[in-house]
Structure 1
Amino acid sequence: MGDKIEQENLPVVRLDRQLKYQGNILKIYEDTVVANGHEAHWDYIHHDGAAAVLPVTDDGKILMVRQYRNALDRFTLEIPAGKLDEPDEPKVECAYRELEEETGYRVESQGKLEYLMSLNTTVAFCDEAIDIFVAHHLIPSKQHLDEDEVINVEAWELKDLEDLIYSGTITDGKTIAAIMAYARKYRSTDKRDEALS
């Protein structure tokens, strides 16, 4: 037992990091490391970060976006989200922008976005970090989609979204985390009404 604990506490030392591919949103590296006394080669993907927002209408429905995801070769139902324009862009600014661009709704100011949670999407090989916000008091505006984006906006009841999660229909990690955290925090009508006031 003692030997196992000592082995688990050995540090991982990175000897080298080489850029293998740079795309529009990702940089893919090969890391050479020494782990548990053995040299290994690990894949590492760098992402500048992103923000997402869970938009809640005045009647308590959640605005979702349905869009095609090339990696899965299918349409998915997700909360609005997008990458930072610059690595140092405040994530609340990104969330504010993505809300309007994808849903055609906005809030009066960035201060009206409530921080909900942070998450790392794929900890085994990617450093993407997303901050998720909740938006109340939505103001109609208009979508500002990229030329290659096709996004449909749908209003859903919270309980129906939970059912889609439990049935395996919604599989996007940030969306699942956001919906479940929101449900836990605002389950009662009193709490939701308090947030809307």
Structure 2
Amino acid sequence: VNFPRRLLEIFLVALRLGCTSFGGPIAHIGYFREEYVKRRLWLDEEEYADIVSLCHVLPGPTSSQVGITVGISRAGLAGGVIAWLGFTLPSAAVLILFALGVANAENLEESGWLHGLKLMSVAVVALAVWGMARAICVDRIRTTLAGLSAITILAVASPSVQIYVIFAGAIVGWVLLREKFAGVTSSRRFPISKQFGICSLIAFA
């Protein structure tokens, strides 16, 4: 597939996901997995899980970062930009139209349709979490680590606790799982140099 056609493919797939993915970033990750991993085979389960884990550590919406990373893996920086545009444009357009309509609406908090959307979002997020858990928590160590992390975050409702749990999970995983993944390498290479990555990290900091 030539480069322009690959960019078009990335854009159209991201655009369709942007038009059909509901429920917020966590739910989007489930939709992405169905499309990029199971349907199109652009990534395998381990690669996708690695991307999601890394994007969770970064500030900002995880789903957008995952989509950008998938685009980069397919067609470099241009692919990342195209994936971001395709996924973001539908929601941006709908939000603008929604805002124009809400300005003239009354008693929005009591609207039955809005309450229905909230309930639907809960179901979508739960389905996405369950799908990711089945793919990633494949042994006792990872299942226990995920369970303890969930209990901690639910018990202590604080944004800072989430950061502590993420880094604690990284340390525990490194100690308990490093032998399991010793020598495991991915054949996928991202078309971005280390120098560019370092410069981007410095600019971000």
The verdict on a shared fold, with TM-score over 0.5 as the criterion, is no
Normalising to structure 1: TM-score of the pair?
0.21
Q: Which has the higher contact order (CA 8 A, sep 6+)?
A: 2
Normalising to structure 2: TM-score of the pair?
0.20
State the structure with more CA Rg: 1
More strand by share: 1
